[in-house]
Chain A
Amino acid sequence: MEPLATSLLLLTLAAFPAPQFGAPQPQGPVATASAVVEHVSAAPGGTIEVGLRLELPEHWHVYWSNPGDSGLPTSVHWTAPEGFRVSAPHWPAPQRFVTGPLASYGYAKEVLLASTITVPEDWKGGSVKLELRGDWLVCHDDLGCFPESKTFELEVPIAAGPAKPTAAAPYFAAARGATPRALEGGEARLVKHPEGMALRVRFPDAVQQPVPETPPERRSDFDLAAYEPLFFPFESGHLEPSAPQRATVDGRTLELVLVAPLDPRRTEPGTLAGVLVLRPRTPGPLLSFELLAEPPH
């Protein structure tokens, strides 16, 4: 064996020591976690974007707010002094990971779960101390799942006037681009279907481009057929996560068949809320919308 190959093998063995039984186990944390802020300071009465960033090795994933068939939602908990308001995390559009008859909803490679913190107008301190606790389950199809958590303390200067972006600002811009928005000028409805239900979405002629560098007011035409649609419900139990979602496009209207579970754990929803992700079939930014579909007439 070549010396290089030998040392690579040894490195691999060191990272995945022989377990007592079964598949190899990772040693140490799988995800690289960091606490990030978008700007170097925040103004009294203003807001600041903060977040938990997770970077994952290839073939590993963490979970969305609805994890799908298995797993646990990633949890982000901020502690700030009294008077500060912390928003719920802004979840970027999830991905679906299908393995055989099972599917998970979540994120691979990297994700930023950002929250907006509002500074009280009368905050007198020169800075604020924030604490972040992140808990996540990180999973690999073959090697299994590992619960991980990390606590961070950070101090953000509070000062009037504009603040410079930090080195982490591009992550926030990218996460905003991938965060579902309301479907303004459109409509979503549930339609009866033999296999469960169909989600019928009527799009307006133009939708807001999510690309970070595009001015938010710019709207442009888009071709529905250029995207692969996938619907992610906020609650589990209404549809079979791994089932294919057959799509038909008729002009500005998209219809997606949502196969119901064989033995549904929930009764038919009155309304169905979730995220519709339109992933471009050729490289490009995705579009995602938060939908509340009304029940059939």
Chain B
Amino acid sequence: MGAAMIAGLPLSNRVRDYPESEFRHPLPHEAELTAGVRIEPGRSYGFFTDTTVCIGCKACEVACKEWNNLPADNLGLTGDSYDNTGHLSANTWRHVAFIEQMADRPTEMRPFQSNWLMMSDVCKHCHNPPCMEACPTGALFKTEFDTVVVQQDICNGCGYCVPACPFGVVDLNPLDGKAHKCTLCYDRLKGGLEPACAKSCPTDSIQFGEVADLQQRAAKRLEHLHAVGVPSAYLYGAPDGPGATGGLKYLNAFFLLTDRPEVYNLPEAPTRPSDRVAPSLLSGLAAVAGLAVAAVALFSRRD
């Protein structure tokens, strides 16, 4: 009999210690049982989201809202397919995008051949987070798990982090006036638990683990997809690949996509605003110098 597997990895031997299906107490190092990884400070954790197996069930959205006590927002109909959350916001830290791909002439599409792309978007927990660079109070910080979190008691609501994020993740809540975003379930990680969204994903489209392990797993998955005839598949946010441009180096939450990043509402080549400070300053100084030269030339001609 073959060993039981979870997300392509053999289940921990500890599974045999817990034959019951209901537990009265939290299990120590539960993530070892659910995600095959022991969570320890000082290591780097993240998500690998394989969009090719996402079924758009939104279990991740619900689990995120349940655990983090986030209210439903963006009420009403968006008119955009099954997408009722619309985008990431201060109250929506997971967003399942439904991208319906129509042929040039929808009436000519073969029956039962509609083409859907689905992707569960989230904070990318960048290796070099631009939001953290922009934060003047130090409210945004890197945790002991290499994730990026906003400390609510330090955030002053200035909102500099909002335009600094190249992915449009961070958002201000007008009710409490503070910045909010995914914490990669910081409180759960401290308790040895897998993040709520990854734990709830029924197809393991969202996989949680150590970033180095996830990158290896993603490379294998990519190789398999190319072998079975999906040449369009690629990794977004893997080291020095698409999505990890402009000094971001790599994203702790990265994706396997099958179409251009823009189709998934992701930037093709994200950059860090801090890289644009020197060119902006130089161009400003050049403009001032140019105007000064023009003024001198104009007034000297009058004399």
Report if A and B associate in a common complex. no
Residues of B within 8 A of A (CB): none
Q: What residues of chain A have their CB less than 8 Å away from a CB belonging to chain B?
A: none
